[in-house]
Amino acid sequence: MRRVQVAGTAAAAALVAGTAAALAVGATAAAIAVAVILVAALAAFWFARNRVRAWTYTEREDDLIVARGVLVRRLSVVPYGRMQFVDVTAGPVERAFRLATVQLHTAAAASDARIPGLEREEAARLRDRLAALGEAKAAGL
């Protein structure tokens, strides 16, 4: 979805910049303006594509690891025993693509983690598994 937005915005910006440069300065300036817009669009396209791929999670024996970030990587480790509840949400765009986001809530607001872009079935499976592990680990405290 983001790639379509980037492509549409880039095409419109290139058209406007090229036309404005052609009218104001000439054909050479128009070609340079279009080239600059297209290079910026390619960079935005790369970033949008990699932003989705940058989200990873790993279920371990005692905790869940969530990693994210394209330029700056962030790693969150959430112990199962510290989870208070697991929430699954899906906005209108996510529902259109049969996706959902799993949100993990802990007592410390800063340690909340989320995993976006999961298929609905995987999100439901993960929610059930994390809830069961959270109850089991919390009972052992």
Q: From first to last of the 141 residues of the chain, give the pLDDT tens digit.
A: 555 666 667 777 777 777 776 667 777 777 777 778 778 778 877 887 787 788 899 999 889 999 998 888 899 888 888 888 899 999 998 899 899 999 988 877 676 688 988 999 999 999 999 988 888 877 665
- Smallest CA-to-CA distance from 58 within 71, 81, 76 is with 76
Task: Please give the pLDDT value at position 128.
Answer: 93
Q: In this structure, are residues 119 and 99 in contact, taking their beta carbons and an 8 Å threshold?
A: yes
Task: Please give the pLDDT value at position 6.
Answer: 63
Task: Please give the pLDDT value at position 119.
Answer: 92
- Smallest CA-to-CA distance from 106 within 81, 82, 88 is with 82
3-class DSSP state of 64: strand
- Smallest CA-to-CA distance from 102 within 136, 76, 66 is with 66
Two tokens, residue 101: 């986001």
- Report field, pTM of the whole predicted structure over 0.85: no
Q: Is the dihedral of CA 131, 134, 136, 138 positive or negative?
A: negative
